[in-house]
Amino acid sequence: MADTDTPATERPQVERPPVGVLEAFLFWLKLGFISFGGPAGQISIMHQELVERRRWISEKRFLHALNYCMLLPGPEAQQLATYLGWLMHRSWGGVIAGALFVLPSLLILIALSWIYIAFGEVPAVAGIFYGIKPAVTAIVVHAAHRIGSRALKNPWLWAIAAASFVAIFALNVPFPLIVLGAGIIGYIGGRLVPEKFVIGGGHKAASTHYGPALIDDHTPAPEHARFRWPRLLALIVLGAALWLLPMGILLAAFGWNGTLTQMGWFFTKAALLTFGGAYAVLPYVYQGAVGHYGWLTPTQMIDGLALGETTPGPLIMVVAFVGFVGGYAHPMFGADHPFAAGAIAASLVTWFTFLPSFLFILAGGPLVESTRNELKFTAPLTAITAAVVGVILNLALFFGFHVLWPNGFAGMFDWPSALIAAGAAIALFRFKRGVIQVLVACALIGLAIHLVRW
């Protein structure tokens, strides 16, 4: 048993064998298939496996990496896996860890999206989605509450959240402008009233010591993790090439207005706006994919979020569903190949969504390693997080409207859906049930109701 009263610097350091690339590969592959539960659940799994059980990294170093990932746009759990893979096995280790966090989810979602499009009108499938839709509405409300309870700590931040809700709900202000405005307010507020915009992160370093780790609190940064300008410039050039090459091919093949070209451009912008997690960027995806481009319908968007909730991997993988449905409905390879169009669209959307995440980690990791114990949340990010709460609340209202009044206010109010949504909310808020449990229960209830009606 470790002597927790002895400072870490005075404990004898136990020599640990290095983790091989194959061993790490198998772990990241396993993680890609079991990473349910959203970012909180995914981060918890990595903490249990890497900090507590395997001791690949100390808790202090783990939390330092997590705090950096939480500052970035993009899925923090996937970025954390990329960071830890990079720290242990250089750039290729980061690429392997990050890619395996995403690939299983992509393959599963392509298969489920095809089943949804091909068999969605089958009574059993329709019934399952009938029950899932109101559950998703409750889940989004729960997400707004969860983020809000952590982020809105004073009247200033409540005001920002309220203003963002009015901006997107009543004025239809584009999500990027809301993020920009909140960031500017946070920057100014951080200078004028800094105490209102400085909130401690939700991941505090615990005092528990699990024994010596391979990468311990005071283990020097490996050679590849040291900041060098030539390496940074090389990564910037490589990242630009990895974006320009597929974009150039799409532009040459389909033109600027082609479906795949517009998807690549749209989801590149979305990737840079995912502050606060997937729920924050979903309104932007809805504005573009449903309202502007018409790649899918509002009902399909709700169904896609339900599929994203029930598959492993980051929730932002719902973009793969959006890409598949959009490609399937607008087959660019002819009417005889809609599946190929959908699968390629889903893969391209995933590429453009996650490419920035890899670049942020591989380019910024060395700087983060050189500034341990100095990384802080910025005032602009605090304000953006507050604005995100208002945006998510708007998303909940959008989902609730389409679920409870499927034919508009002129149509009938759907009482069974309302009861399912209320039951899901009680399960989430009162009994603290997991998302998967709630979705499965609501799907079974929906199936029973639909089959009785049918």
Low-confidence ranges of the chain (pLDDT < 50): 1-14, 200-207, 373-376
pLDDT value of position 198: 67
In 3D, which of 113, 83, 204 has the Cα closest to residue 150?
Answer: 204
pLDDT value of position 332: 86
For residue 95, what are the contacts with CB-CB under 8 A and spacing of at least 6? Answer: 82, 85, 358
pLDDT value of position 78: 94
- How far, in Å, are 199, 202, 284, 313, 329 from residue 70 at the CA level? 13, 10, 20, 17, 35
pLDDT value of position 454: 64
pLDDT value of position 72: 79
Q: Which pTM was predicted?
A: 0.76
pLDDT value of position 388: 79
pLDDT value of position 296: 93
The whole-angstrom distance between residue 351's C-alpha and the CA centroid of its chain comes to 14
pLDDT value of position 19: 92
**DSSP-derived secondary structure for 73-135:** SS-HHHHHHHHHHHHHHHHHHHHHHHHHHHHHHHHHHHHHHHHHHHHTTSHHHHHHHHHHHHH
pLDDT value of position 207: 41
